[in-house]
Amino acid sequence: MTTIYDVAEYCGVSVSTVSRAIAAPDMVRQSTRRRVLEAVDKLGYQPNRVARALSTGRTRSIGFVVPSLANPFFPRVLKAAQGAARSLDFAVLVGDTDEDPDAEAELITTMGRQVDGVVVCAPRLADKDILRLAREVKIVCVNRPVRGVPGVLMDSAAGVSEAARYLHGLGHQRFVYVNGPERSWSNGERRGALGAEAERLGFEVHELGPVSAKFEDGVALAPEIARMGVSAVMAYNDLIALGVLAGLRQTGVEVPGQISVVGVDDIMMAAMSTPALSTVSVAKDEAGAAAVELLLEVLEGERRGPARTLRCPPTFVRRQSTGPAPA
């Protein structure tokens, strides 16, 4: 392991000069700088990040905390976040809370001590707990608006509205919304958007749930949906929607012939079902990248002013699970 001392000795300057040649190019003479960089190259010197971290107090790494990596939604966000971080020379530590709020708090605190900041995805903690943690460690929330904490929100409301208008345009008059986790911000958004559109256009919306937002929930609900006499199902997310699809098929209901089904998220599987699931595609990649950029911005400029909240717009993706309302 070659150190800054080796480089300094090699080209007969002090370590300070080497350090500067690398970090502050215009504080050393051009010619010495060149000499140093050549030596760096020749000796294959790479700064020791740990030592740098100890000295500067910055680790150049961030934490990324998710409820569960088993939920196909989060790995996508993580992938984007990791890519963005990497291109800015930041490392990403990952933490999986298994949907447990206590584990989440614990993870944020312990991680907080070895990273510069933490991106917390869809936190299960109460607002006040997040605020408390945010005083100790720099936090950016994803899909959870917390006053005073910077965040990135993957909008879905606009997409749900669009889907609703589309279905209404196809003649649908009786909808059912399947609620996801009760205290989820996203659920409120989606439910609200559908309700608003119903009011505006004058169609009916029944409700089911809340459920935990798994495939099995959708399967279990399908028979009841079949009995409700609705022609359109808007589910909290794709997992539920795919479950409904499977359940309806078992029940002998045709999709989209008798009932149209729409999900939210646009996870990989949505494109793989038969019929392929129409869904509100949420900006996972943009949000993942935006979250780390926002976090770095927070770290960089100790900017005062209110915490920023970014919103990434959704798009409605029409596939085969939606069609004209039955006569």
Residue pair 138/114 in contact by the 8 Å Cβ criterion: no
Kindly state the helix (H) or strand (E) to which residue 234 belongs, with its residue range: strand 232-235
Q: Which stretch binds DNA (CB under 7 A): 5-13, 181-189, 227-235, 250-258?
A: 5-13
Contact mark string toward DNA, 25..64, x via CB under 7 A: -xxxx-xxx-----------xxxx--xx-xxxx-------
CA separation for the pair 157, 135 (Å, rounded) = 31
5 or 148: CB nearest DNA: 5
Residue pair 292/62 in contact by the 8 Å Cβ criterion: yes
Decide if residue 4 touches DNA (CB under 7 A): yes
49 or 200: CB nearest DNA: 49
47 or 195: CB nearest a copy of itself: 47
How are beta strands 174-178 and 151-154 bridged, if at all?
unpaired
CA separation for the pair 91, 79 (Å, rounded) = 12
Residue pair 36/22 in contact by the 8 Å Cβ criterion: yes
Q: Could you list the residues that contact a copy of itself (CB under 8 A)?
A: 46, 48-51, 53-54, 59, 61, 64, 68-70, 72, 74-76, 78-79, 82-83, 86, 91-96, 111, 113-114, 215, 242-243, 245-246, 249, 268-269, 271-274
The DSSP output letter for 27 is G
Decide if residue 260 touches DNA (CB under 7 A): no
Q: Which stretch binds DNA (CB under 7 A): 7-15, 144-152, 191-199, 273-281?
A: 7-15
CA separation for the pair 115, 98 (Å, rounded) = 21
CA separation for the pair 119, 94 (Å, rounded) = 10
Residue 5 binds which one of DNA, a copy of itself, none, with CB within 5 to 8 A depending on kind? DNA
Decide if residue 153 touches DNA (CB under 7 A): no
